[in-house]
Amino acid sequence: MSDLTDETMSSSESRPQGEADFQKLAEIRATIDRLDAEMHGCLIERSTAISSLIRVKGTSRPGAAFRPGREAEMMRRLVDRHEGTLPLWTVEHIWREIITTFTRMQASFDVAYDAGVNADAVRDVARFLFGFTVALHRQSDALSTINHIKESGTDLGVVSLNQPASAGAWWRALGRPSAPRIMALSPFIRVGGRPADHPALVISPELSDPAPPDFLVFAAATIGADPAPVILAAGGTVLAASGRERLVVLPAGAPVAAVAARAGLEDLARVGALFRGIALGDAAADPVLYQRLDEAGVSP
């Protein structure tokens, strides 16, 4: 009986355990190598598509190459389809590196960053958003960052939202004819434990993005009581304040003049636009600026 049992054992059962493990590891590594090759092939295919896009669009200005609306939609799709143990912020960073690389194929740009408040944190935000191939230009404060963007005509900027009182209403330098403007809020995806989570704004030259934004951003001066309750009731929020000055976010479809009259705001000037971000789990986030996953119908 023992001889018959030995003869009928499968080959996998008769091999030493170490040999079976080695074969399994080899199979897994082969799968990883195949996936790596497929991902590389997809990147090459994407670069070919971008080359065709450049020929069709004739893009040479960063203002024409940047598409914050399309980028926001890509990030939303990324969150929607993500699963497994790979951290979401890792996937986001990889995607942003890809986006930056292919955008710079269309129109070259560098990034200036505001080193006036927590310079290391703001630099990390810039690196997270734009990767390690783009050149960073350290600036002394928010105004210097805005001036760099204006003078370059091509570069983006990252400005901290946590400004000291001495910075004043720095946003008044935005939005004038030919002046830079706010194009995005960082982080776009708020999730517990993520790196580079310092709150910041991305500043750009004037854009030609056809996607309608979720919010318009205004510089405004107060002439009475705190305008925040009226702004909140209108679906907006106050991003920053300095004395009588406010940096105000309102839904793109809001009746701006009526809201301003009720809130006691004057000297309104549009200084940019934003797209609504996403908040996951128990991450703290302004409910005006961030949509929670359960609102979007997506499970954590």
The range of the structural domain enclosing residue 125 comes to 59-208+290-300
Do 171 and 296 reside in the same domain of the chain? yes
Alpha carbon distance 97, 102 (integer Å) = 9
Alpha carbon distance 159, 114 (integer Å) = 5
Do 96 and 202 reside in the same domain of the chain? yes
Tell me how many domains the chain contains.
2
> 97-140: per-residue pLDDT in tens?
999 998 888 888 999 999 999 999 999 999 999 999 999 999 99
Does residue 72 belong to any structural domain of this protein?
A: yes
Do 124 and 255 reside in the same domain of the chain? no
Residue 109: both structure tokens together? 């740009």
pLDDT recorded at residue 11: 47
Alpha carbon distance 164, 260 (integer Å) = 26
Residue 1: both structure tokens together? 């009986």
- Biggest CA–CA distance in the chain, Å, is 99
Cα distance from N-terminal residue to C-terminal residue, the chain: 56
Closest CA to 180 of 79, 265, 273: 273
> 39-69: per-residue pLDDT in tens?
999 999 998 988 887 777 665 555 567 889 9
> 173-193: per-residue pLDDT in tens?
999 888 899 999 999 999 988
Do 204 and 250 reside in the same domain of the chain? no
Alpha carbon distance 175, 182 (integer Å) = 8
Alpha carbon distance 300, 47 (integer Å) = 32
Mean pLDDT computed over every residue of the chain:
89
Do 85 and 151 reside in the same domain of the chain? yes
Do 90 and 172 reside in the same domain of the chain? yes
pLDDT recorded at residue 65: 77
CATH code of the domain containing 263: 3.30.70
Do 102 and 239 reside in the same domain of the chain? no
Do 154 and 266 reside in the same domain of the chain? no
Do 72 and 163 reside in the same domain of the chain? yes
Contact 235, 94 (CB under 8 A): no
Residue 193: both structure tokens together? 């434990």
Does residue 233 belong to any structural domain of this protein?
A: yes
Tell me how long the chain is: 300
Does residue 2 belong to any structural domain of this protein?
A: no
Name residue 274's beta-bridge partners.
215
Contact 258, 266 (CB under 8 A): no
Closest CA to 129 of 203, 180, 79: 203
> 197-225: per-residue pLDDT in tens?
999 999 999 887 778 999 999 999 999 89
Check whether 10 has a pLDDT greater than 50.
Answer: no
Do 257 and 173 reside in the same domain of the chain? no
pLDDT recorded at residue 166: 92
Average pLDDT rounded to a whole number, residues 158-171: 96
- Whole-angstrom CA distances from 275 to 6, 142, 178, 235, 243 are 68, 22, 22, 14, 27
Do 197 and 225 reside in the same domain of the chain? no
Closest CA to 249 of 295, 288, 202: 288
Does residue 90 belong to any structural domain of this protein?
A: yes
Alpha carbon distance 295, 81 (integer Å) = 16
- Using CB atoms within 10 Å of the CB of residue 157, give its burial: 0 to 12 exposed, 13 to 18 middle, 19+ buried: buried
pLDDT recorded at residue 230: 97
Do 244 and 108 reside in the same domain of the chain? no
Name residue 269's beta-bridge partners.
219
